[in-house]
Amino acid sequence: MPTANADRVVANLRQLAEFGKYKTGIHRPSLTPPHLQSMTWLKGELEALGHKTVIDGIGNVFGFSQAKGRKVLSGSHLESQNHAGWLDGPLGVVYALEAARAIKADPAFADCGVDVGAWCDEEGHFGFFMGSRSACGELSEADIDKAFDRTNGRKMRDALAESGLTGRERVVVDPKQYVGYLEAHIEQGDWLEATEQKIGVVTSIVGIRQFRITFEGVQNHAGTTRMAIRKDAGLALARLAVDIDDRFPSLAGPRSVWTTGRITLDPGGHSIIPGGAEMLFQIRDADPAVLDRLEAALLEMIAAANAKGPCRVQTEALRKTIPAVMAEPFQAALDAAAEAFAPGKHERIPSGAGHDAQVFAQHMPAGMMFVPSIGGISHHWAENTSDEDIGIGAQVFVDAVARLLKGNQ
């Protein structure tokens, strides 16, 4: 039976955490030197395993097994959010690598293989799911042309050039070659920890609808402009944010979430009535009908705000990802593997965060597995998972891959 080497998995993760180390986490944005170091490291490990490797024109790292039989595609991402955790992404990459090693090492799986991928920019420094969309043939050259780093404005074309990747082909995978795609990730929430479980078997990945909502009023002196004639863009924004939060609960599904993550007032002076305001707003749910209902309500509220005045409100859709249901055989394989190595300590749960698996799920059967996040902390350098839980997760993951390769026996 293919077996994970838990010590090796933890050691590999600690090696990766040296690239862009920041406090107890990492700062490894897409296509920066530490990210390139992590890519080179992965390529080396895959070569050592005998995989055929390539770092392609979007910064995806591929390791193709030479096996001729059934194959699983597996991976995650190596870059991080700014000043974030060491496991968000790398855990799934190292589990995939470990699964490739364990399958290769087991004579009973001589014909089978695990192809490994590290998908560039899952964290969205330049866009959203640039790497996995490229690997699925969904990303155009024009998409790359217009992409830039939202932190510093660096064009993705320049970043690729500085990474020595200009002119390389972008590899597109052939879904027919695979049983499907399997990815592991930290939960990024506290459900598993709070319920003392070790494994989350993902049922679905939410769709995200993200909007930029802008408010146009009239900038003026905060002392000399009477309340009656003001067109305060900031106040119009606050009213919409509160209206949304009052109205959405009655329309939402049990797991719907909505967030105003950023608010900017223009010009932002303490004695100036804001003439402009902007909010970044997003809705997430696993059910497209719920997303449609919430988006329609948002647009109704914006229309009402425009009808009422005094500010003009406009909305721009920035991002619309499709919810993905995980394939039932993949969930079953994960259930069985989890029951074998963490009996009674696993549960089927939806994913509120987006993952590369949702891109692959549009092209082949896909599955996802979570391990616990300590305190539910995520997108922060303090993010962590115990070594013990990392080890249990690795073994469950390898076992699930083995079950899928053998037709979920």
Is 12 one of the binding residues for its own copies (CB under 8 A)?
A: no
Q: How far is the CB of 234 from its own copies (least distance, A)?
A: 5
- Of 20, 38, 132, the closest CA to residue 94 belongs to 38
Per CB under 8 A, 245 contacts its own copies: yes
Residue 324 in contact with its own copies, rule: CB under 8 A: no
Please, what's the b/e burial string for 7-44 (b: 16 or more CB within 10 A of its CB; e: otherwise)?
eebbebbeebbebbebeebbbbbbbbebbbbbbebbbe
Least CB distance to its own copies at residue 183 (A): 16
Shorter beta-carbon distance to its own copies: residue 53 or 210: 210
Q: Give the residue ranges of DSSP H helices in 120-215.
A: 130-135, 141-145, 156-162, 191-194
Q: Using an 8 Å Cβ cutoff, are 313 and 306 in contact?
A: yes
**Contacting range for its own copies; rule: CB under 8 A; set: 139-147, 228-236, 302-310, 390-398:** 228-236
- Rounded-to-integer distance, Cα 255 and Cα 233, Å: 31
Provide, rounded to whole angstroms, the least separation between the CB of residue 96 and its own copies: 22
- 54: buried, middle or exposed (CB in 10 Å: 19+, 13-18, 0-12)? middle
15 sits near its own copies (criterion: CB under 8 A): no
Based on the shown chain and the rule CB under 8 A, indicate whether residue 237 belongs to the binding site for its own copies. yes
CB of 286 to its own copies, least distance (A): 11
Which of the residues 199 through 218 are near its own copies (CB under 8 A)?
206, 208, 210
- Interface with its own copies (CB under 8 A), residue from 6, 54, 241, 340: 241
**Residues numbered 372-391 forming contacts with its own copies, rule: CB under 8 A:** 376-380
**144-79-393-56 Cα dihedral, nearest 10 degrees:** 50
- Rounded least distance, CB 212 to its own copies, Å: 9
- Distances in Å between the Cα of 232 and the Cα atoms of 170, 196, 225, 229, 271 are 48, 49, 11, 9, 12
Contact with its own copies (CB under 8 A): which of 141, 176, 226, 409?
226
Rounded to 5 degrees, φ, ψ at 55 are -105, 120
Rounded Cα distance between 123 and 80, Å, is: 6
Tokens standing for residue 327: 């394939």
Find all residues with CB under 8 Å of 136, minimum gap 6, and list them: 172, 173, 359, 360, 362, 363
The answer to whether 315 contacts its own copies (rule: CB under 8 A) is no
Question: Segment 167-206, which members bind its own copies (CB under 8 A)?
Answer: 187-189, 206
Residue from 48, 108, 222, 317 binding its own copies (CB under 8 A): 222
How big is the site for its own copies, counted in residues (CB under 8 A)? Answer: 59
Q: Is the CB of 21 or the CB of 230 nearer to its own copies?
A: 230
In 3D space, the residue among 59, 62, 56 whose CA is nearest the CA of residue 43 turns out to be: 62
| Cβ nearer to its own copies, comparing 147 with 405 | 147
CA pair distance 258, 165, nearest whole angstrom: 37
Q: Which of 227, 250, 307, 343 binds its own copies (CB under 8 A)?
A: 227
* Cβ-based nearer residue to its own copies, 37 or 282: 282
Smallest distance from the beta carbon of 44 to its own copies, in angstroms? 32
Chosen residue from 252, 322, 332, 336 binding its own copies by CB under 8 A: 252
CA distances for 208 relative to 29, 42, 64, 204, 288, angstroms: 22, 30, 31, 13, 10
**Least distance CB 69 / its own copies (angstroms):** 37
Helix axes 387-405, 328-341, angle to 10 degrees: 130
Tell me the Ramachandran region of residue 121: left when phi exceeds 0, alpha when psi lies from -120 to 50, beta otherwise: left
Rounded-to-integer distance, Cα 201 and Cα 352, Å: 13
The least CB distance from residue 198 to its own copies, in Å, is 17
Encoded one letter per residue, x for contact with its own copies by CB under 8 A and - for no contact, window 255-294 reads: xxxxxxxxxxx--xxxxxxx-----x-x-x----------
Site of interaction with its own copies (CB under 8 A): 81, 124, 187-189, 206, 208, 210, 219-227, 232, 234-235, 237-239, 241-242, 245, 249, 252, 255-265, 268-274, 280, 282, 284, 318, 351-354, 376-380
